[in-house]
């Protein structure tokens, strides 16, 4: 088994991102900024020879993946394990309304990941996200013996995967001690000799002048 280098990318900005609505397993289309960000990501990664490409099955990630790989002749494999964290009955709701109507559990989700039970939301816990995303990466490692691998997924799922599951870090403090992953930001993780190493986290230099606020 040789060295494998993962290029993790969060999907492009969507209508619900813009409207400040909870997305999760729900979905909404990419907006123009999200499309442009995905295209710019593809240009930034144009010199990378990808041996494989994986995506969450959500349409926003599949569409983002398509814009990134452009006219490259490479198959895209979708894995359910790469889906975003499920937020149950909160999906599609505005964050301000979730805060107003489910404040206690929502605060627990944000501030106490280790102990968040998702009892009201009926979604997933961070522990469940950690286990399924880690299984997805283990499947990819079994299927790809070496090379550069593009993985397009979601903000919270990737944050738990990269900084908790792969780094064996503290789930409770990961939200305060790791970077928030922005839309179409690039995080590069190297795997060799049984160890994962983050080479670059949330790189958005390629989005300057394309995405608002960058």
Catalytic residues: 11, 84
State yes or no: 11 annotated in a binding site: yes
Q: What are phi and psi of 197, to 5 degrees?
A: -140, 125
State yes or no: 60 annotated in a binding site: yes
User: CA 86, 31, 8 angle in degrees (round to 5)?
Assistant: 55
Q: How many CB atoms lie under 10 A from the CB of residue 61?
A: 29
Sheet holding 4-10, edge to edge: 76-78, 50-55, 147-153, 4-10, 186-192, 195-203
For residue 151, the cross-strand partners are 8, 54
Q: Is 100 exposed, middle or buried (0-12, 13-18, 19+ CB in 10 A)?
A: exposed
Q: How many CB atoms lie under 10 A from the CB of residue 140?
A: 20
State yes or no: 13 annotated in a binding site: yes
State yes or no: 14 annotated in a binding site: yes
Closest CA to 207 of 68, 20, 100: 68
State yes or no: 25 annotated in a binding site: no
Q: Please enumerate in sequence order all residues whose Cβ is within 8 A of that of 134, keeping only pairs 6 or more positions apart, or say none.
A: 161, 165, 166
Binding-site residue set for substrate: 10-17, 60
Instruction: Indicate the annotated binding residues.
Output: 10-17, 60
């Amino acid at each position: 088994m040789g060295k494998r280098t993962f290029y993790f990318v969060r999907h492009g900005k969507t209508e619900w991102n813009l409207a400040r609505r909870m997305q999760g397993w729900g979905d909404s289309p990419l907006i123009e900024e999200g499309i442009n960000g995905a295209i710019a990501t593809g240009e930034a990664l144009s010199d990378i020879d990808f041996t494989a490409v994986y995506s969450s099955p959500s349409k926003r990630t599949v569409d983002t993946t398509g814009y990134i790989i452009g006219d490259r002749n490479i198959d895209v494999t979708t894995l359910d394990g790469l889906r975003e964290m499920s937020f149950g009955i909160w999906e599609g709701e505005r964050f301000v309304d979730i805060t107003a109507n489910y404040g206690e559990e929502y605060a627990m989700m944000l501030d106490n990941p280790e102990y968040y039970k998702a009892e009201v939301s009926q979604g997933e816990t961070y522990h469940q996200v950690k286990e399924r995303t880690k299984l997805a990466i283990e499947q990819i490692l079994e299927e790809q013996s070496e090379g550069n691998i593009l993985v397009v997924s979601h903000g919270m799922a990737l944050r738990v995967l990269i900084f908790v599951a792969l780094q064996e870090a503290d789930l409770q403090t990961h939200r305060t001690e790791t970077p928030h992953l922005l839309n179409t930001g690039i995080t590069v993780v190297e795997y060799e000799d049984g160890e994962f190493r983050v080479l670059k986290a949330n790189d958005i230099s390629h989005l300057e002048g394309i995405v608002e606020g960058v």
